[in-house]
Structure 1
Amino acid sequence: MTVTIYDVAREAGVSMATVSRVVNNNPNVKPATRKKVFEAIERLGYRPNAVARGLASKKTTTVGVVIPDISNAIFAEVARGIEDIANMYHYNIILCNADKKKEKEIRVINTLLEKQVDGLLFMGGAVTEEHQQAFRTANVPIVLCATSEESGNLASVDIDHEAAAYDAVQALIKQGHTSIAMISGTLEDPSNGYARFSGYKKALAEAGITYDESLVRIGNYRYESGADAMRYFLDLEQRPTAVFSATDEMAIGAIHSIQDRGLQVPGDISVISVDNSRMASMVRPQLTTVAQPMYDIGAVSMRLLTKLMKKENVDQAQVVLPHELVVRQSVGGSK
């Protein structure tokens, strides 16, 4: 039979209220009484009923996390930051993969809200009107994590993606490159896509380099799309001397396509990207990239959400974390 809080109270010789205070880490319990309750819990094998506690307190101590692609190492690093801070503040997380599909994102958001989560962290692409509608029906705090939206109505934690891309292209320009291609994410994605594309164009314009549409290919963030885009650039009559990729994974695909043609990186073509995933230091040559602090984005997002859930004062609801150029071996001077 299921052991109840009543059984523990009777075994320990205390009231059910005292057992509840011990289980919920209430400091107003004498050490000797606390010890007696824990011994009774251990003898009986009592496990607190989270559902019952949630019904009583109207809190589930659970946070829903919508992640675009659970197999992507970048998002795994964000999730690690979220979980570490969640554990610190005694929250559990429900992690849901949405496959970067709007319909699935909306469905997952609604499912998590139906499960009575205390808060929601959303990692995804564009925050559309359909997303906003789902968020408006929520009566819990929501924080956008590694993404943002234009209105500024929702709390968010991210980097300045346009500035990160600008700095990457600037690094190529400083090496003398004037024929710079880009492997972009979808332009419907406000951060990895459109913002990084805007940073690319801005850097070219400031350097007086004419934007050439033929030097831009749209990828899907995956290795194969980076490899395909690079093969297209290599088949051009006048191939570029450098390539800026919106993500590390596509950049690595590009590097391998270059090497498959018997060419060298950076001897023949330089490659740079944004992310600084673990793969960036595993590929050869090691990839020069702009690092976004993915663990910190997750950790800061979760800490911001805890403040909102506890109705604490929040000085800044839209947080922009710094990025940093990490110089390795994939960028050289233009020939």
Structure 2
Amino acid sequence: MAHPTLEDVAARAGVSRALVSLVMRGSPKVRPERREAVLRAAAELGYRPNMMARGLAAGRTGIVGALLADLHDPVYAAVHDGLADEAAGDVRLLVATGRGRPARELAALDHLLDLRPDGVVLAGPRIAAAEIERAAAGCAVTVIGRALRSPRVDCVTGDDRAAVDGAIAHLSSLGHHRIACLDVGARPSPLRRACPPGTVVTDPDALWSEPVPPTAVLALGDATGTTTLTALLRAGKRVPEDVSLVVHGSPPTARAAQVTTSAVPPADLGRLAMATLLARIKDGAPARARRRTVPPRLDERATTAPPG
């Protein structure tokens, strides 16, 4: 079914196409009764302005794309919320995902670029830096969670090392001196480098086989946090009476479960990335790419306490 046009609205309202165009642009030069007639005709026909065509004529589309690495990951869902909050009222946000696969991610990026967006945010991209650079040749680009050496790609990252340092400092302030950093991911977490020497453990059940077991555990990642809680229950340990627990990450149930967390808020990453992108769209090409860092936040809840 063909979309109603300006000509269709003009015919229904009994006015010229030029007058309809003035009404749709919000011109004050149209008498109120004629404006009402045009808007009534547009509503009856279901007419909607072609924002893309209007944007292209003005040199901008008013569209921003967001390519999220994995929509099944709650972290990226929160990143999207931050992007949408910051974009509200300024641009229209189109969301795509590569489902964690570089080939699909590249195809999704090409689909977004085909729409001629004013800019694109890439959250956790796995495609080659050269492909990101190619995208930046045609529109503004901001990358979340990855630092690129590019003069025209802005990058927003989180200070995860500071999040680990903050968690360790918090546990130490409570009086814990035997702290284990647990990492059970399929790949070693880069956060291991931020942990104190000799504290990294990869087998949760091994935590309790040591002669002097830890009194506190920092779980490196949301999935590791769930594994840690399961291991604690299996070992008959109480939290926080026997063992304090901090999760590095932002599990969606952390607040309800009263789990202490230390992490960069993903929604903050989204908000800062969108603000950075909109600034580049407005300012054009700045002298140098922007490198921005989001600090972590420690949310102290019921899973941490002084050692018993």
- TM-score w.r.t. the length of structure 1 is 0.76
TM-superposed deviation, 1:96: 2.1
TM-superposed deviation, 1:27: 5.0
Question: Residue 6 of structure 2 aligns with which residue?
Answer: 5
Contact 1:18 1:29 in 2 (8 A): no
Question: Residue 297 of structure 2 aligns with which residue?
Answer: 324
**CA spacing shift, 1:84–1:2, aligned 2, 3 Å:** same
Secondary structure of the 1:122 match is strand
For the residues of structure 1 that align with 2:92 and 2:10, how far apart are their CA atoms?
27
Report the count of equivalent residues: 302
Aligned Cα root-mean-square deviation (Å): 3.2
Q: Is 1:118–2:118 an aligned residue pair? A: yes
For the residues of structure 2 that align with 1:258 and 1:109, how far apart are their CA atoms?
43
Within 5 A, what are the aligned runs for 1:10-49?
10-23=11-24, 25-26=25-26, 28-30=28-30, 32=32, 33-49=34-50
TM-superposed deviation, 1:254: 1.0
Which amino acid in 2 is paired with 1:258?
Answer: L
For the residues of structure 1 that align with 2:82 and 2:30, how far apart are their CA atoms?
35
Question: Residue 225 of structure 1 aligns with which residue?
Answer: none
Pick from 209, 212, 226: which aligns with 2:198? 212
Contact 2:65 2:117 in 1 (8 A): yes
Pick from 252, 263, 266: which aligns with 1:294? 266
Q: Which runs of 5+ in 2 are unaligned?
A: none
Q: Is 1:75–2:80 an aligned residue pair? A: no
Which amino acid in 2 is paired with 1:144?
Answer: V
Within 5 A, what are the aligned runs for 1:1-335?
2-23=3-24, 25-26=25-26, 28-30=28-30, 32=32, 33-50=34-51, 52-53=53-54, 56-57=57-58, 59-89=60-90, 91-124=91-124, 130-138=127-135, 139-145=138-144, 147-151=145-149, 153=151, 154-184=153-183, 193-194=189-190, 196-200=191-195, 204=196, 211-212=197-198, 215-217=200-202, 229-235=203-209, 239-283=213-257, 286-311=258-283, 317-334=290-307
Secondary structure of the 1:178 match is coil
Which amino acid in 2 is paired with 1:280?
Answer: A
For the residues of structure 1 that align with 2:58 and 2:175, how far apart are their CA atoms?
63
Secondary structure of the 1:176 match is coil
Contact 2:63 2:119 in 1 (8 A): yes
**CA spacing shift, 1:43–1:321, aligned 2, 3 Å:** same
Secondary structure of the 2:238 match is coil
Q: Which runs of 5+ in 1 are unaligned?
A: 205-210, 218-228
Secondary structure of the 1:297 match is helix
Q: Percent identity?
A: 25
Which amino acid in 2 is paired with 1:294?
Answer: P
Residue range with higher mean Cα deviation, 176-185 or 68-77:
176-185
Contact 1:307 1:313 in 2 (8 A): no
**CA spacing shift, 1:66–1:237, aligned 2, 3 Å:** farther
